Amino acid sequence: MTNAQETNVKQEPLSEQAFLDTLINLCDDLAWGRPASEDRLFALTKEGAGPKNYVRLAEAFGMMLVKVESREYHRSQLIEDLKTRNAELEEAHRLLAERNTHLMRTIQENYQTKKIVGQCEAMRKVIQLALTIARRPINTLILGPTGAGKEVIAKAIHFNSPRREGPFVAVNCTAIPDSLFESEMFGIEKGVATGVNARKGLIEEASGGTLFLDELADMTLPNQAKLLRVLEEREVLRVGSSKPVSVDIKLIAATNVNLEEAVRKGKFREDLYYRINVAEIRIPPLRDRGDDILLLAQLFLERHCAYMGRPRLSLSPAVCRQLLQYGWPGNVRELNNEMERAASLTIGNRVELSDLSTRIVPEEVRCRLLGTEPPISREGAAAPKAKMPIVQNYSLQEMERKLILEALDKTDGNKSKAAELLGITREGLRKKLLRMDISDKEIPHDSGRA
């Protein structure tokens, strides 16, 4: 019998029981995760394979099997995609952890005591005391004038302590309104007010690390009482909550106010003063730090030059003397700002007196050094004028030539500064030099500078 004849032979229908047994076996295979025979299922769907209703049941089962296999395929693809994304996330997490560790080490290195500029005896004592305090879990009070570097010392204590891996949370007490003090410092629960979500307070955020309270003397007496309770109980109560949260913090407070005097006047709580003043550090004002002024000035100058992408600048001897003589009421912060200004505005490769602000170098001193007339005073009277030399037989062009050469002489041949003194642009000065045929040999002290 040929294949065609075999195909044309009508398949004998299965009995009802045999059909059901075959279909049940296929269902068992699918239910237990065994490979189901598609050929056997296909045979059950052929016309005449069994009772008509049973054949329709087999067809429906076949369609269900196709859908199950399709879902299995999509699920396997989804699992593969999730595995790939999970591997990517794990790699990103690893890189982030490495960068975080590197950043933490960099910060710790930046606040090592050896990085703090302080060669004078007073600052050496401050640094040594800070290192000693860092090893102990005690509250610390840092006293010193504004801008003296109290936060730098606070960070040095934190990053040299066993808590270095924990957070360092700095809080400016002046910047927190009384109405927001509790929610900002202690936290708040969800639903206390419309649209308010639960969040931790700054004290809770600092748990396991250091809480730095700057300008502590500006805190009001009621808020001082709330802070005292936290320090005594070592727990905070969020706004809208009845369950306190334990905190573990090292407190460092700083102020430029004499707290002992504030206690006597009733402006600061005595019990809080003794609670925070377990150890005390007094930072000297910048004017009392001697040659530290020059070390800091050069450090700030180099830092700002690097940030601005310009070559390194040096300080002239006259500038060094002026920096040492100035009183520095703004302390280190003022010095940093002055060096930033010098790095921005200095034209040559060395900072001169003329590059400093009038706050550091008074106008009359600047005019005397540059040979220019001082400005009119506030009362409207001009300062005494130097006598002008009596000259005769000079044409206007000759006078202009003489004035240009004098400006170049006073600026040591620096054409940019000479143009500034003359009130013209450098390009205008260049054109005048060409027009008057003034060669480089005629320019006093010319060294080819800008």
Q: What is the 3-state secondary structure of 234-289?
A: CEECCECCCCCEECCCEEEEEECCCHHHHHHCCCCCHHHHHHHCCEEEECCCHHHC
The DSSP 8-state label assigned to residue 377 in this structure reads: P
Cα separation, 342 vs 8, whole angstroms:
104
Cα separation, 49 vs 99, whole angstroms:
69
Q: Is 188 helix (H, G, I), strand (E, B) or coil?
A: strand
Cross-strand bridge partners of residue 141: 253, 280
Q: Is 208 helix (H, G, I), strand (E, B) or coil?
A: coil
Per-residue confidence (pLDDT) for residue 221, from 0 to 100: 93
pLDDT, tens digit only, all 450 positions of the chain: 444 444 444 556 677 777 778 778 877 777 776 776 667 777 777 777 777 777 777 777 777 777 777 887 888 888 888 888 998 898 888 888 888 777 767 776 666 777 788 889 999 999 999 999 999 989 999 999 999 999 999 999 999 999 988 999 999 998 888 889 999 999 998 877 777 788 899 999 999 999 999 999 999 999 999 999 999 999 999 998 889 999 999 999 999 999 999 999 999 999 999 999 999 999 999 999 999 999 999 999 999 999 999 899 999 998 999 999 999 999 999 999 999 999 999 888 899 988 899 888 887 766 665 555 555 544 444 444 444 444 444 455 677 788 888 888 888 888 888 877 777 777 778 777 877 778 777 776 654 445
φ, ψ for residue 198, nearest 5 deg: -70, 140
- Relative to beta strand 279-282, strand 140-143 is parallel
Cα separation, 71 vs 81, whole angstroms:
15
Per-residue confidence (pLDDT) for residue 390, from 0 to 100: 42
Q: Which residues contact 330 (CB under 8 A, 6 or more apart)?
A: 146, 147, 337
φ, ψ for residue 129, nearest 5 deg: -65, -40
DSSP string computed for 104-128: HHHHHHHTSGGGS---SHHHHHHHH
H/E segment holding residue 204 = helix 202-205
Nearest to 228 by CA among 205, 257, 198, 251: 251
- Relative to beta strand 250-255, strand 210-214 is parallel
Per-residue confidence (pLDDT) for residue 224, from 0 to 100: 94
How open is the CA angle 229-234-235, to the nearest 5 degrees?
85
- Relative to beta strand 250-255, strand 140-143 is parallel
Nearest to 251 by CA among 165, 131, 130, 140: 140
H/E segment holding residue 315 = strand 314-315
Cα separation, 14 vs 58, whole angstroms:
13
Q: Which residues contact 66 (CB under 8 A, 6 or more apart)?
A: none
Per-residue confidence (pLDDT) for residue 278, from 0 to 100: 94
Residues 346/355, Cβ–Cβ less than 8 Å: yes
Q: Which residues contact 326 (CB under 8 A, 6 or more apart)?
A: 287, 360
Nearest to 192 by CA among 166, 158, 201: 201
Cα separation, 159 vs 164, whole angstroms:
4
Cα separation, 310 vs 305, whole angstroms:
5
Residues 268/304, Cβ–Cβ less than 8 Å: no
Per-residue confidence (pLDDT) for residue 10, from 0 to 100: 52
H/E segment holding residue 351 = strand 350-351
